[in-house]
Amino acid sequence: MELNKSKFQIWLRESITLKMLVVGFLFLVLLIPLVFAQDLITERKARQQEVINEINGKWGNPVTLTGPIFKVPYKTQKETRIFNKETDSYEIKHEEVTHYAYFLPETVKFDSEIESKPLNRSIYKSVVFTSDTEITGDFPELRLNHENIIPEDILWEKATLIMQTSNLKGIRNNVSITLNGQTYEMNPIYDKSAMNTLESEPVKDLAARIQDPGHFQMHLEINGSERMRYIPVGRTTLASMSSDWKSPKFDGMFLPEDGSREITSEGFKADWKVLQINRQFEQIFYNELPDLRKFAFGSDLIIPVNEYVKSERASKYGAMVIGLTLLVFLLIQLVSRIYIHPFQYVMIGLALVMFYTLLISISEHSSFMTAYLVASVSVIGLITLYSRTILKGFKFSLLIAAALTSLYGFLYIILQLEDYALLVGSIGLFVILAIVMFATKRIDWNR
């Protein structure tokens, strides 16, 4: 009986299959704290975005502008059939209804000077800016071609100029527009448009100038954050943007003109040109102005290094790091016949998970490179010292240190090579597989 018990104990200690099953099970168990670490990174990233949104909301939201648009009211007659119980017949009731026609400009040019300003709250940073924008252009002949509109029903004396913006709160000057030498104040109105609307007082003597409404000019100072965009309302829309921000991201439906982009250490410049044929909407709208934001173009002002994104990417390789490290210890155990208790495997795995909590906490107060260096050296040092007590000497401990250093160095290279991460990662994993295959070719797997 005792002989059988002794054989069973020897089998427990010597069976390669059992050791692999145990290490595989422990690997799956260690994925649980790894998920907790990934959730922590996601939570901190969400907190960062929450603070940035709060900062931006107080300073000024992302900016989108339309430029001036003529708003011309006109009357139509509405007929309604009403049943009269006294005469037992239907009567026709005529009602006068006011509608609006919206004339987009013939040409419009946006010229923006953007001064950026990083704002900090606690450990979080947001990019805000102040834009100084000149808007100039011309209107075409104001001709209402709708078949149901007769000239006598057009209320030229009540025609106004409007413009729309996504960020009414950020405007820093009293907005006015000059048309043919006449200046009109523009004030916000309440309507159901997708963006905030500014409207002028009625334009003077417009009926006499409908064939050539003239040249317009306006100036706008506005606080914003994250992005500055324009909607190409002109038959020809030109835009010029310059800023002291060094990391623009040209986005939207249209990119800058070829050769117009200049990005230096002192900032950037870019020019756009959009024709009516390039975007799918007409120059006159009736009844209401549609939401044209999807046609907007411009630039985002981005923070190039986001520590949370890098930490999140690093954590996605966590399973690979844990699996390869446990594999190294398993191979050492098989080659040296040194017994490693499952509890010791768990401690090594938890140390590897701690790398990500150290990484995210340190990177919130320093650069990612510093945080990565401190976290990796700490974990490598801890596991190396711990493995010395397990493996009874420095020989295998130094092998562990070299393996972990190579692994974390390889991971850091992958994190820096965004465009070539898949290629470099695939080659690296292939090399690791080849090393494992040749390192294990003399192991007696039948034990």
Same domain, 288 and 433: no
User: Residue 444: helix, strand or coil by DSSP?
Assistant: coil
Q: How far apart are CA 445 and CA 32, in angstroms?
A: 30
Question: What dihedral angle (degrees, nearest 10) is formed by the CA atoms of 259, 261, 263, 268?
Answer: 140
The reported pLDDT for the residue numbered 172 is 92
Which range, 86-95, 107-116, 258-267, 386-395, has the best average confidence (pLDDT)?
107-116
Domain that holds residue 243: 64-304
The pair of three-digit structure tokens given for residue 422, joined into one six-digit string: 């898949």
Give domain status of residue 56, yes or no: no
Whether residues 319 and 362 share a domain: the answer is yes
User: How many CB atoms lie under 10 A from the CB of residue 201?
Assistant: 11
pLDDT in tens, 283-296: 999 888 899 999 99
Q: What is the pLDDT of residue 10?
A: 62
Identify whether residues 294 and 336 lie together within a single domain.
no
Q: Are residues 297 and 379 in the same domain?
A: no
Regarding whether 312 and 425 lie in a shared domain, the answer is yes
Write down the pLDDT at residue 84.
67
Distance of alpha carbon 291 from alpha carbon 166, whole angstroms: 11
Same domain, 272 and 212: yes
User: How far is residue 115 from each of residues 53, 136, 147, 241, measured CA to CA in Å?
Assistant: 20, 21, 49, 11
Q: Are both 300 and 312 inside the same structural domain?
A: no
Domain count, the chain: 2
Task: Convert the pLDDT of each residue in 405-436 to its tens digit.
Answer: 999 998 888 888 767 777 887 888 888 888 87
pLDDT of res. 183: 92
Last residue of a domain, one of 265, 282, 304: 304
Residues 297 and 315 in one domain: no
Residue 147 has pLDDT above 80, yes or no: no
Question: Which letter, b or e, does each residue of 239-251 get, where b requires 16 or more Cβ atoms within 10 Å of its Cβ?
Answer: bbbbbebeebebe
Which residue has tokens 């595989």?
Answer: 24
- pLDDT top residue among 120 and 196: 196
135 domain-assigned? yes
What residue type is assigned to position 46 of the chain? A
Query: β-strand 236-243 against 107-121: which pairing, if any?
Result: parallel
pLDDT digits (tens, 9 = 90+) for 355-395: 999 999 898 888 888 999 999 999 999 999 998 888 877 78
238 and 280 inside one domain: yes
Is residue 57 assigned to a domain? no
pLDDT value of residue 314: 87
How high is the mean pLDDT of the chain?
86
Write down which residue in 253, 273, 304 finishes a domain: 304
Flag whether 59 is in a domain.
no
The C-alpha atoms of residue 403 and residue 257 are separated, in whole angstroms, by 50
Q: How far apart are CA 65 and CA 228, in angstroms?
A: 8
Domain boundary (252, 284, 304) is at: 304
230 with 363, same domain? no
CA 73 to the chain's CA centroid: 40
pLDDT beyond 70 at 4? no
Q: Is 264 exposed, middle or buried (0-12, 13-18, 19+ CB in 10 A)?
A: exposed
